[in-house]
Amino acid sequence: MDFAKLVEIFDRNEVTFVSVTQSFNTTTSMGRLTLNILLSFAQFEREVIGERIRDKFAASRRKGIWMGGWAPLGYNIKDRKLIVNEREADLVRSVFIRFARGMPPRQLIEALAREGALNKQGKPIEKGYFYRVLNNRVYLGEAVHKGTAHPGEHDPIINKNLWDQVHALIGANPHTRAKRPLGRTPAMLKGLIFGPTGAAMTPAPTRKNGKLYRYYITTDLLRTGSSTRPVRRVPAAQIEGVVVSQIRSMVQTPEIVIATWRAAKQTIKGLTERQVRDELRRFDELWSELFPAEQARLVQLLVDRVDISEKGSDITLRVEGLTSLMQDLHAATGLRSDAA
């Protein structure tokens, strides 16, 4: 028990304290003064020790050191460090990926229960635990102290891109998120596609007999409800497929390779034209690994303009966008080489 509290109990019960080894007692004013001075120094010492412990803890967190506690799902503790538990890490990745792809939390939690997924304590994953997993920045390889994230000593389980997708959904209004169609495909050509007159075309989804149909329509059709132009609307999936197919072909043409190499070599020292060609050939591999929202962002990065006419479509690529893509591919290749 704290000595100050003990003295308070003595006072309430009219008990005096007399020290045998030291010359003071609480029956005299000098004794009470001496006792209060000693208690003040003791309190000061406790506070200093507490501050030093907190400072040491904060400094360790800034260095990314694990400071104890229960290991989060996906990790084990070994030699006071977090080590990835691959079986649990696969479960964590699955939770993030399925949530990012639009699976509602209730359905996802029910699916995890059917699959027999368990938390770190061997119990079924419930709603509270589910959201703690989605909000735990340790999975990014970070150590958090009082809301501030620092690079951790441990390996990440998910990447920043997946984290951002999940938290864009978490941050959305729950009512809006619940009404969002599952697996909705974003309008990847929004702001990029133009009709025969040069007027912008805008996404215009419609639903018929419970089925969703997506189109891009000319803005004059929206304004007046009619248009004399032969190209007034185009099916979104069809034109988006054409654009992606043309991008895949164009990024491997000699003209694009050379233009990309000339721009990229300004920031990547020692870059050769052959390296650029080899990296751009990996576009198909990259595309197949992306979520719909990521694919839409990549198209926005690469495409400057899509012009629609009676004869077909004409696509203009952005060289600076290709340069950014090439840099990402080059960095990814470097990471894999290092890991190997």
Per-residue confidence (pLDDT) for residue 283, from 0 to 100: 74
Q: What is the pLDDT of residues 52-97, one digit of tens each?
A: 766 665 565 555 455 556 788 989 888 778 888 999 999 999 999 8
Per-residue confidence (pLDDT) for residue 340, from 0 to 100: 37
CA atoms of 64 and 67, how far apart (whole Å): 9
pLDDT > 60? residue 184: no
Angle between helices 292-302 and 319-339 (to 10 degrees): 130
Tokens found for residue 321: 């966008």
CA atoms of 295 and 165, how far apart (whole Å): 13
The CATH 3.90.1750.20 domain(s) of the chain lie at 75-179
CA atoms of 303 and 326, how far apart (whole Å): 15
Per-residue confidence (pLDDT) for residue 77, from 0 to 100: 84
Q: Helices (DSSP H) in the chain: which residue ranges?
A: 3-12, 29-62, 86-100, 105-114, 127-134, 160-170, 174-179, 219-224, 236-250, 254-264, 273-280, 283-288, 292-302, 319-339
pLDDT > 50? residue 157: yes
Could you tell me which residue, 66 or 307, shows the higher pLDDT?
A: 307
Per-residue confidence (pLDDT) for residue 88, from 0 to 100: 92
| Cβ atoms < 10 Å from Cβ of 331 | 11
Per-residue confidence (pLDDT) for residue 339, from 0 to 100: 36
Per-residue confidence (pLDDT) for residue 256, from 0 to 100: 80
- Per the DSSP assignment, residues forming a β-bridge with 144 are 149
- Per the DSSP assignment, residues forming a β-bridge with 217 are 202, 233
Nearest to 102 by CA among 240, 237, 292: 292
Residue 308: which residues within 8 A CB-CB, separation 6 or more?
Answer: 193, 194, 195, 196, 201, 231, 234, 239
Q: What is the pLDDT of residues 36-50, one digit of tens each?
A: 777 787 777 777 777
pLDDT, mean of residues 283-306: 77
Q: What is the pLDDT of residues 192-233, one digit of tens each?
A: 888 888 888 888 777 777 777 888 888 766 555 455 556 677
CA atoms of 66 and 64, how far apart (whole Å): 7
CA atoms of 162 and 233, how far apart (whole Å): 34
Per-residue confidence (pLDDT) for residue 271, from 0 to 100: 79
Could you tell me which residue, 179 or 271, shows the higher pLDDT?
A: 271
Per-residue confidence (pLDDT) for residue 116, from 0 to 100: 92
Question: What is the average pLDDT value for the chain, to the nearest integer?
Answer: 75
Confidence of residue 338 (pLDDT cuts 50, 70, 90): very low
Confidence of residue 237 (pLDDT cuts 50, 70, 90): confident
Classify domain 75-179 by CATH number: 3.90.1750.20
Predicted model pTM: 0.43
Q: Which of 130-139, 232-241, 264-273, 296-305 has the lowest mean pLDDT?
A: 264-273
Q: For 184, which DSSP code? A: P
Could you tell me which residue, 183 or 79, shows the higher pLDDT?
A: 79
Q: Give the range with max mean pLDDT: 32-36, 97-101, 237-241, 269-273.
A: 237-241
CA atoms of 257 and 322, how far apart (whole Å): 9
340 by DSSP, 3-state: which?
Answer: coil
Per-residue confidence (pLDDT) for residue 92, from 0 to 100: 92
